[in-house]
Amino acid sequence: STSSILICGGAGYIGSHMAQWLAERGHTVTVLDNLSTGHRGAVRWGRLIEADLMDPAGLKRAFSGQRFDAVMHFCARSLVGESVAEPYPYYSNNVTGTLNLLEAMRDHDVSQIVFSSTAAVFGNPISEAIDEEHPRSPINPYGASKLMAERFLADAAHAYGLRSVTLRYFNAAGALPEHGIGEAHACETHLIPNVLRAALGQGPALKVFGNDYDTADGTCVRDYVHVQDLAQAHALALGFMAREAGAHTFNLGNAQGFSVQEVIATAASVTGVQIPYDVAPRRAGDPARLVASSEKARRVLGWTPQWTALEPIIESAWRWHRDPPSWSPHHPHAHAHAPGQIA
C-alpha cells in the first residue's frame, strides 16, 4: 500500500535519495527543509515546504496543511569536526529541533517516525563489528546530539506510544546521477567527494587526516554504504513500524572497513587519475575504526544492500562529481559559498 510521507531534510543528500525511492514506488512525498545545506534543485519529487525545525509555528503549519502517515527525519547538522568547533548549533538543531518535530507530530497525531542516527553515537568502539547493543559513548558533540534524540524516541514510545525506527548510518556515500541527485555540500568535508574533486583538479588540496592511527596502514577505517541502500532500509522501516510498536534501532553499514588510503587507491583506479595528497594532523573527534554489524537489519527488516563493494559506490559518486547539475555548488558556474553556511 502507498502512504503519505513527510521527509524532513529531503532537500539534502540522503533525504533526496529517499524521496526518489518512495516516489518511484508510488508514495506521496512532501519535503520539509530550511535549505540551509539542502538545495531546491534536489527536490525533484513532491512538494517543498520551506520550514525550520527551530520554528514551531512553521512546523505547525506544515502538519496542519496535510495528513502524513509517517515522518522521516534527516534534518541535522552532521559534521564531526564542525561539531567539535561549534557545538551549540549541533545541540540546538539536532536536539531542540528534533524535540520540536516530535511535539508537532504528537500535536497532530502522527505517530510513526524513522530517525537518522549515526555510528558516531558509539565513540571509540571496543569491538570489531559494531552491533546495536555496543555501548554508546560519543566522543564528539555530533554523536552526543544524536544520542540524546535517540533517547527522546525511547521515552516517547513509553509516554505517547510513538513508533520509531532509528537507523544509525555508518558512512553514507555514492549518488544516483541518472536521477540527478548526489552529494552537493557547499563546504565539503567528506572523504569520497574530496578525493574525487581532487581527481578533477577541483577543491582544496587533498589531506589525509592522520596516518598514525592503530590501523593496518595508520589511516582511519570506515564502513561505506550507498545512499540508495540507506533509502531501501528506511522504506523497510516504514513497513516494520506499521506492524511493531515501540522504539527500534538498527545499524546500517556493509560490515567491511576501508582505510582512507584504500579509498584513495580505489578512487585512483575508478578515475584513472593518480590522486595527490598530503598527510595532515588528525582531525578532532575521529575514531580510528568504525565498522558495522548490520546483521539485525538484514534479519529483522529484510534489508538486502545492493551496493556492497567500494568500487561501484565510488564509481556512482564519480559520475555525479564529473558532471554536477547547475544547482550544485560544485557546478563550474556556481557561487563559491552558499549563504548561511558555517565555514
Q: Which of 13, 90, 142, 169 is catalytic?
A: 142
Q: In the range 58-117, which residues lie near ligand UDP by CB under 6 A?
A: 80
Q: How far is the CB of 81 from ligand UDP (least distance, A)?
A: 7
Q: How far is the CB of 98 from ligand UDP (least distance, A)?
A: 19
Q: In the range 176-235, which residues lie near ligand UDP by CB under 6 A?
A: 189-191, 194, 207-209, 220, 222
Q: State yes or no: residue 236 binds ligand UDP (CB under 6 A).
A: no
Q: How far is the CB of 114 from ligand UDP (least distance, A)?
A: 20
| Structural contact between residues 31 and 23, judged by C-beta atoms closer than 8 angstroms | no
Q: In the range 263-292, which residues lie near ligand UDP by CB under 6 A?
A: 283, 286
Annotation marks residue 142 as catalytic:
yes
Q: How far is the CB of 277 from ligand UDP (least distance, A)?
A: 8
CB closer to ligand UDP, 191 vs 237:
191
CB closer to ligand UDP, 30 vs 219:
219
CB closer to ligand UDP, 114 vs 220:
220
Exactly one of 184, 255, 260, 292 binds ligand UDP (CB under 6 A); that residue is 260
CB closer to ligand UDP, 190 vs 331:
190
C-alpha neighbours within 13 Å on the C-beta side of residue 281: 4
Task: Write the burial class of residue 12 (CB in 10 Å: 0-12 exposed, 13-18 middle, 19+ buried).
Answer: buried
Q: In the range 139-178, which residues lie near ligand UDP by CB under 6 A?
A: 171
Three-state secondary structure along the chain? CCCEEEEECCCCHHHHHHHHHHHHCCCEEEEEECCCCCCHHHCCCCEEEECCCCCHHHHHHHHHCCCCCEEEECCCCCCHHHHHHCHHHHHHHHHHHHHHHHHHHHHCCCCEEEEEEEHHHHCCCCCCCECCCCCCCCCCHHHHHHHHHHHHHHHHHHHHCCEEEEEEECEEECCEHHHCECCCCCCCCCHHHHHHHHHCCCCCCCEEECCCCCCCCCCCEECEEEHHHHHHHHHHHHHHHHHCCCEEEEEECCCCCEEHHHHHHHHHHHHCCCCCCEEECCCCCCCCEECECCHHHHHHHCCCCCCCCHHHHHHHHHHHHHCCCCCCCCCCCCCCCCCCCCC
Q: How far is the CB of 128 from ligand UDP (least distance, A)?
A: 17
CB closer to ligand UDP, 5 vs 221:
221
Q: How far is the CB of 162 from ligand UDP (least distance, A)?
A: 27
CB closer to ligand UDP, 166 vs 171:
171
Q: Which residues are catalytic?
A: 142
Binding residues (CB under 6 A) for ligand UDP: these are: 80, 171, 189-191, 194, 207-209, 220, 222, 260, 283, 286
